[in-house]
Amino acid sequence: RLKMVIDTDPGVDDAMAVFFAARTPQIDLLALTTVFGNVTVETATRNALHLCEMAGLDIPVAQGAAGPLARAPSPPSAHVHGAEGFGDLPAVAPARRAVAEDAADLLCRLAREHPGALTVCAIGPITNVAEAIRRDPAFARNVARIVFMGGAAWVPGNVTPHAEANTWNDPHALTEVLASGAPVVMVGLDVTMRVLCTAQDFARIARTDPHLGGFLDRASRFYLDFYRNVAGVEGCGLHDPAAIVAALRPDLFRMRRTALSVALDGAEIGRTRPVDDGPPIDICEDGDMEAVKALFLAAFDRPD
Ligand code: BDR
Ligand code: CA
């Protein structure tokens, strides 16, 4: 089973990703770590705990960065993910609390305990992973793979014409992660916007899996409205779940091995581009995105 930590800013599509991992027997989800982004880090932690309770995941949740490493912080994306992170669903107070260890320490420890076997899926701003690399020089060697949702190598951004939201939120963190030479896989808008999940798709998983599928169906309505009103499309991109799928089934993607540059200031801040110089990473440039979507949806066909 694939040992995995998900570093997340829940977030509607983060909930999809966490539930997909929870419903996939081949994934051994060891912990969630939280980061600012779609919501504040405190809300991200509360939401992550709530997701664990819903999915019956008895795993640690460790809180991480409240803001970016160097750039000015930006407000949460309430217009995309809702005020509390799950569309217009109200906040739910979890029964459990986050562990005392913070996100970066937990990442370093798990990578040390499972050398060469831990996949870190970073589906928010990648600040906690950068912090783990700062704290433990061995982290980049210990980790099997860092699969991050973010960036747009060959296509326009989604938060500015140049930048995708996660890389825009902390471009310096991504630069540090890339410079570390750790094995990195980028799952960006190049692939995540090639397939859309529609209201009908969510209605289907709500029928087959009323508990988790039903929650995603309710949480995604606001998110789907955003896509309809702002992007003019019927359906939402499969951002964060695609990163979990890429960690599990890299064969479903075509990757290009190349270095990546990240714009750190100016109007293009957060823009990611393939370049010749620097440690190479694997960038998903294409994929069988219908198969990725089918795999995601199928996880909710067999609730326990
Ligand atoms: C990414 O930004 C966030 O809004 C989503 O949760 C996803 O991680 C998409 O650009
Ligand atoms: Ca996210």
Q: Clarify whether 9 is annotated catalytic.
A: yes
With the most atoms of ligand 1 within 8 angstroms of its CB, the residue from 7, 8, 9, 193 to mutate is 9
- What lies within 8 Å, CB to CB, of 185 at 6+ separation is 145, 146, 147, 148, 246, 247, 250, 255, 281, 282, 283, 284
- What lies within 8 Å, CB to CB, of 199 at 6+ separation is 220, 221, 224, 234, 235
- Residue 273 has φ and ψ, to the nearest 5°, of -140, 140
ipTM surpasses cut 0.90: yes
CB of 240 within 6 A of ligand 1: the answer is yes
What letter does residue 128 receive in the DSSP assignment?
H
CB of 158 within 6 A of ligand 1: the answer is yes
d(CA 276, CA 279): 9
Within 180-278, residue ranges assigned H as helices are 189-192, 199-208, 212-226, 239-248
Q: How far apart are the first and last CA of the chain?
A: 18
pLDDT at 17 (0 to 100): 98
In 3D, which of 248, 223, 256 has the Cα closest to residue 237? 223
CB of 80 within 6 A of ligand 1: the answer is yes
Cα(18) to ligand 1 centroid in Å equals 13
CB of 76 within 6 A of ligand 1: the answer is no
Ordered DSSP codes for 41-62: HHHHHHHHHHHHHHHT----EE
Average pLDDT along the chain, 304 residues, taken 10 residues at a time = 98 98 98 98 98 98 98 92 96 96 98 98 98 97 98 97 98 98 98 97 97 98 95 95 98 98 98 97 98 98 68
Average pLDDT, the chain: 97
The size of the chain, in residues, is 304
**Each residue of 194-249: pLDDT tens digit?**
999 999 999 999 999 999 999 999 999 999 999 999 889 999 999 999 999 999 99
Cα(69) to ligand 1 centroid in Å equals 18
**Each residue of 1-19: pLDDT tens digit?**
999 999 999 999 999 999 9
With the most atoms of ligand 1 within 8 angstroms of its CB, the residue from 36, 148, 149, 162 to mutate is 149
Kindly give the pairing relationship between strand 253-262 and strand 272-275.
antiparallel
